[in-house]
Amino acid sequence: MANVTSLNVNGKKLRVDVDSQTPLLYVLRDQLDMTGAKYGCGEAKCGACTVLVDGQVTRSCVTPVGRVSGKQITTIEGLEKDGKLHPLQEAFLKADALQCGFCTSGMIVAAAALLNKTSKPSREEIVRHMDGNVCRCGTYLRIVNAIEIAAGTAKEVAE
Amino acid sequence: MNDDLELERYELFADPTYNFGFDRRQFLKAFSGGIALIVPASNLIARTLQQDQGESGRGFNERVPNEIGAWIQIDEKGTVSVFTGKVEIGQNIRTSLTQAVAEELHVPLTTVRLVMADTDLTPFDMGTFGSLTTPRMAPQLRKAAAAARETLIALAAEQWKVEPSSVRIVDARFVNHDASKSLTIAEVAKGQKLVKTIPADIQLTPASKWTIAGTPVPKVDGRDFVTGKHQYVSDLKREGMLYGRIVRPAALNSTLEFSDTKAAEAMPGVVVVRDGDFIGVVAPDQQTAARAEKVIAVHWKAPGQPGAEELFDYLKKNAAPSRGARPVGSIADGMAAADQKLSQTYTVAYIAHVPPEPRATVAEWSGDKLTVWAGTQRPFGVRSELAEAFHIPEEKIRVIVPDTGSGYGGKHTGECAIEAARLARASGKPVKLVWTRAEEFQWAYFRPAGVIDVSTGVKNDGTVTAWEFHNYNSGGSGIQVKYDFQNQDIQFHNSKSPLRQGSYRGLAATANHFAREVHMDELAQLVRMDRLAFRLKNIKDPRLKAVLEAAANAFGWGRKKSGGRGHGIACGFEKGSYVATAAEVSVDAKTGAVKIERVVESFECGAIVNRLHLNNQVEGAVVQAIGGALFEKIEFKDGQILNGRLAKYRVPRFSDVPAIEIVLLDRKDLPSAGAGETPIVGLAPAVGNAIFDATGKRLRALPLAPDALSA
């Protein structure tokens, strides 16, 4: 099978040379040194590896890289612009929406897709959209709070 | 130091996973050369001692250094480096310990940098477990910081030729009596090492006067996490690094009968490493390593082993006589005085930690010196394991733990580090080994399963007159009662575990609280008392009473509920802190599905160090507890884990989370206890009791409703 030789990641065209069956996650992490997306389960059940492909939530651990060549890939590394954090990144800090932080990249990227689509999601919409992302430390309520802060719908900030 | 804190630890005790052959020659050579490598031998002795005691760490404590410079160093720029062997795994101790030092040193948080969990740089530490960082490490660092402050004040006084008592610290600057002169911390310390010892009587700032500690400062390095920049072990890359993979049998306790590695060896860039029952591969990339692992033909032989369906009989049948039982009063007298008696059995399943980051190691040899970056809660313990596995002295090994993708008690052991180091040794290159999720389920260890028998007597006025409690296998943590029972016989019995088992957040305190608090509910029902009133009748301890009443008040105990809903409450004590949990559940009349709708948890751990992160810890513990309470359970047979994947093993998700209200009681007059564990113990019994309230079904097994309640 043909190798994939370039990928569009965070608005940049990057050279790679990998078998098209290689999971996107490995390419990002091992070849492009973008380690924000994490390996958590390898079967799209935890969301730690979440990236956006043409704006859609994508579990990169089960996505062959051949399927995303030519498409726009967004990772956690692409959310910060010119040293300024994305509103969701700010909100996660404000809401203390992390403990060990291993799920955080995937959470923020997944939430970004939601806010791109629905600028003021209801609580139910947030829960439904985020249900594929696992936070084993149990910061779910804070993550919901952070997304509401970023969306400007938060009634209060967790303490 | 309270040794009771350590009494109830439950560590994985297993023979070393691997018995490597190649190093033995070197080992013998070292002996014949007259260099006795006592490290492995002493470890074996320590291990045996621990096994005898059924615990780890006690009597295995290296000397705690008493020199300021071992803990705190100040460079020419005035940056304060603090050295601790503790590990950051999401409990936010990097922040809370920074607060403790900044408080005593009177410097801003931003000038303090914590160096954590590096066996070459930090003082020996037993490990990050048992909620001990706050009660033990924080005071140690506070003392070092206070001693550093006094030393610096003396140095400033010397520069000015004045009395130290006339020097003060104002806004992080040393100033003289009329503030006409001032010096920065860098100008005073001048990069010198603080070799003074920490005076035993050094005065610490009382909690009532804290200005930095006790405040809700955000996670000190939070930005690195929300940007994805933080480098966990699994993110590290070294020059020339290869990727490893281990060939595993399907079942525990297997022995290798046959292997054919030719096909893998023929793959470009692949090296196969075979040593006894160990077979691993390394390759330039993960895909190739995974393919190489797959093409190795192996045949393993595994013995028949007990399965989940016979587990509880097996645990009781193989139980050892209890140790260290301390009966209070007389059960016979208590039973004679009782109006009613009750005997019930409760069980808990094995559950998995499922740490977000699976075990990961990068191992690198340089000559006979080994450096490993490993995600572990016990860097010094892993160093010992490596020394034993490779027959080299601990001084040749450096273990570094970057802030890790959590552990919950599940990362005490060094299997992954040993495997990675073995692969690196053979390939002559740095090797990264990250366990797959399936490996993490099958080859790590579990929270112990257990059976608990409770026999009690109670008077019709609600006084519990006899309390006999036997825990088989799950552990002794949290087994003692804080209720005012006059006659008690409480025993923990070790047993043979079919699966690898070890530490877990809260250890057996969840199991023991589940049995105790469900049983208390059953006794209340027996004597027809309100469940809260019944508990209060048996409580004298004012701190337990305070958390129970705080939870009940905030919950609105006794208020009306709609159909299909039930309320439950539970309280307890463990590791120096008190907890009470009230829960409301709904049970779907048609499907039997149980949903936890609302939880109020009150928690008291002495003086609060950081309310923000304490709230987060308590809330997180409640959420994690949902899994063990309702649906988490390891299915197994013949040494095989049958549901060892996230697709088959359900963990709590967004949609499982109820409304949670945390009530923190701040006792500035009491020393701060740890808070990582105890908040997890109250949920399961509160939910079990709420399900009974809703349905009249008394559930005595965790998980309570793995699928749904049967009709």
For B458-485, write each residue's pLDDT tens digit.
999 999 999 999 999 999 999 999 999 9
d(Cα B458, Cα B103) in Å, to the nearest integer? 50
- Residue B208 domain flag: yes
- Could you give the CA distance from residue B174 to residue B74 in angstroms, rounded to a whole number? 15
Q: Could you tell me the CATH number of the domain that includes residue A59?
A: 3.10.20.30
pLDDT at B117 over 80: yes
CATH number for the domain harbouring residue B98: 3.30.365.10
Q: Measure the CA–CA gap between B38 and B394, rounded to whole angstroms.
A: 10
Nearest CB to A102 within list B218, B406, B616: B406
Q: Does A77 touch chain B (CB under 8 A)?
A: yes
Contacts of B104 (CB under 8 A, 6+ apart): B142, B145, B146, B149, B204, B205
The residue ranking higher by pLDDT, B323 or B509, is B509
Q: Residues B548-552: what's their mean pLDDT?
A: 98
Same domain, A57 and A101: no
Question: Closest to A96 (Cβ–Cβ): which among B613, B621, B657?
Answer: B613
Residues A37 and A101 in one domain: no
Owner of token pair 């651990």: A61
Q: Name the pLDDT band for B5 (thresholds 50, 70, 90).
A: very low
What is the pLDDT, as a whole number, of residue A156?
75
B131 DSSP 8-state letter: T
- Best A31, A136, A147 member to test B by mutation, with max B CBs in 10 Å, is A136
Peptide bond into B703 cis (omega under 30): yes
Question: Nearest by CB to B286, which of A30, A132, A143?
Answer: A30
The whole domain housing B543 covers 318-350+446-702
Residue A159, domain member (yes or no): no
Residue B356 to chain A, least CA–CA distance (Å): 6
Q: Which of B654, B655, B661, B664 to mutate to test the interface with A (most CBs of A within 10 A)?
A: B654
> Does A119 lie in the same domain as A57?
no
Q: Are B31 and B126 in the same domain?
A: no
- Residue in chain A closest to B235 (alpha carbons) equals A35
Give the pLDDT of residue B54: 33
Together in a domain, B81 and B14: no
- C-beta atoms of A133 and B654 within 8 A: yes
For B16, other C-beta atoms within 10 Å of its C-beta total 14
A59 and A8 both lie in a single domain:
yes
Residue in this structure with the two tokens 């073995």, named with its chain if needed: B422
Q: Do A136 and B660 touch (CB under 8 A)?
A: no
At which of A57, A77, A97 does a domain end? A77
Q: B212 and B335 share a domain?
A: no
Q: B225 vs chain A: nearest CA distance in angstroms?
A: 6
Residue B559 lies in a domain: yes
Taking 80 as the threshold, does the pLDDT of residue B28 lie above it?
no
pLDDT the model gives residue A49: 98
| Minimum-distance CB partner of B225 among A35, A101, A158 | A101
Q: Are residues A48 and A92 in the same domain?
A: no
Model ipTM over 0.90: yes
Would you say residue A158 lies in a domain? no
Q: Average pLDDT for residues B635-652, to the nearest whole number?
A: 97
Does the residue B211 lie in any domain? Answer: yes
Cβ of B622 within 8 Å of Cβ of A103? The answer is no
pLDDT tens per residue across span A45-79: 999 999 999 999 999 999 999 999 999 999 999 99
Is residue B132 in a domain?
A: yes
Do B459 and B501 share a structural domain? yes
In terms of residue numbers, what domain contains A141? Answer: 87-151
Question: A56 and A107, same structural domain?
Answer: no
Spatial contact of A98 and B222, defined as CB atoms under 8 Å apart? yes
Please report which residue ranges of B267-377 form alpha helices under DSSP H. 286-295, 311-317, 331-337
Query: How far is the alpha carbon of B234 from chain A, nearest alpha carbon, in Å?
Result: 8
pLDDT at residue B325, as a whole number: 75
Shortest CA distance from A88: residue in chain B: B226
Predicted confidence at residue B11, as pLDDT, reads 66
SS3 B521: helix
Instruction: Select from A52, A77, A102 the last residue of a domain.
Output: A77
Residue B2 has a pLDDT of 38
CB A112 within 8 A of CB B265: no
Between positions 127 and 146 of A, the ones with CB within 8 A of B are 127-128, 130-144
Domain membership of residue B427 (yes or no) is: no
Domain boundary among A45, A77, A109: A77
- Within-domain flag for A38: yes
Is the distance from CB of B599 to CB of B629 less than 8 angstroms?
A: no
Nearest Cβ partner for B287 among A26, A93, A102? A26
- Asked whether residue A92 falls in the same domain as residue A73, the answer is no
A141–B647 C-beta distance less than 8 A:
no
Name the closest residue on chain A to residue B610, using Cα atoms.
A159
Are residue B688 and residue B546 in the same domain, yes or no?
A: yes
pLDDT of residue B8: 47
